[in-house]
Chains A and B, each alone.
Chain A
Amino acid sequence: MKLELRGITKRFGSLVANDHIDLVVEPGEIHCLLGENGAGKSTLMNVLYGLYQAEEGDILLDDSVQHFEGPGDAMRAGIGMVHQHFMLIPVFTVAENVMLGHEETKAGGRLNLDAARARVREISARFGFDVDPDALVGDLPVGIQQRVEIIKALSRDASVLVFDEPTAVLTPQETDELMTIMRQLKSEGTSIVFITHKLREVREVADRITVVRLGKIVGEASPTASNSELAALMVGRNVELTVHKEPARPGAASLVVEHLDVIDANGIKVVNDVSFEVHEGEILAIAGVQGNGQTELTEAILGIQPRTNGSISLNGTRLNGQSVKKVLNAGVGFVPEDRTHDGLVGEFTIAENLMLDRSDQQPFVKGGTLQLKALNDFAEEKKREFDIRAESITTHAGRLSGGNQQKVVLARELSRELKLFVASQPTRGIDVGSIEFVHKRMVETRDAGVPVIVVSTELDEVVALADRIAVMYRGSIVGIVPGDTPRDVLGLMMAGETGVAA
């Protein structure tokens, strides 16, 4: 089916998220929508899927104008969507999830599960998915869950499939498999819209590439374009994609983690017997697919995880079992994975956020009273130094862009005297320009002799920054390898293959 968007405009208040966007997706084509976070790609797809109503513009399917009041209409018209965060019910089986929303019933209102099972088997066989219709979705690995999403869309005879950042949660191998599936779908005549900000994937599968920036279409590119050409289109200027760094000059082992277990609130061991050390002046990257214990590991170092076994010590001082306050005072800088959730108080000003972890210390507090002058001077200085783009230091942190929010967090954490710097997903959801800046600061921190831990699910980032790489899988460290380890080896390790590390 041919999909055409004509002059789609969507506003949120004064923000124009989509500005007269025209897009044509031919039948049997993989059309990539490439753009940075916040460029308006997902908004556009939500308009297409009927979740948002566009202020202007038309959606055409095979040249007839469509009016979608909601996702139900879009689905009936043959549009399917595979969401980044799966819309599946974990306690339902695959078949139940697939039939959800258009359940067939037998006499007396009983669900016709057999029909759903047959449907799952049929689609699954057609594409070689290997999905058991009676498996509980919650028990399936993410890659398979994604296939359930695809089956769900296909079972409603979708002839236009939208994939919204589908690879964010996948291992490199699962990503490759997904690419194969996309090609297969394409050969069956399905039109595919593939939303991503990862250049490598785009070049691999796309037939055509449309680049979106700040809500507008800024250009088309062919899959043969180079990474830096695509990046320049995305960002609107030339960007440095590689991080310049000298070889590390590691000093003494500073952070020593031995046989660390972390047990979560449900009593599950989310970090299992992890041991490693980080030396002064080196960056240890912790790679792995989201949700393999990296978050809990960093939280254990900071002291927010209540139940840990084993030991974490920094320069001989034991950290675990200490309060967060003591850990911070021992010289640990921490950039949390989710800055809006754990890193910033959105309703606080930039200045207030900059003193968040020193709310009882000089120079910001004397005799229990805030020293507003000292705080403002400090904030002005950091705003300049870290190039935080905001009207003033009294702007609320919640109103900053992701990149500027991250700069506030970095400014706060790097302005204390550090003995260890832990950054979790430091560039997630921020613009390419800010990524450059963040990476530069992290290398500088390393060069100042501070041990640095970077947790990242993006292989590009891991490879760019790491002096050594620890790969985590299901709560354990699969292996610790040098920073120049080839990607395919890392990919296999991320999938849990231990043999390759050696």
Chain B
Amino acid sequence: MSTDRSSQTGVVSSWWSTLDRDWKSVVIGAMIVGLVSVLDLQIPW
């Protein structure tokens, strides 16, 4: 079980390291939009 999780983390980590900075910023933006629109996360200012 823990081996599965660490191999999944490894896959995500190696996929992330292959992305260039521009695409990483698109992924981060999409994650924030997902959190705000799907989970209705409210971000304070």
A and B: interacting chains: no
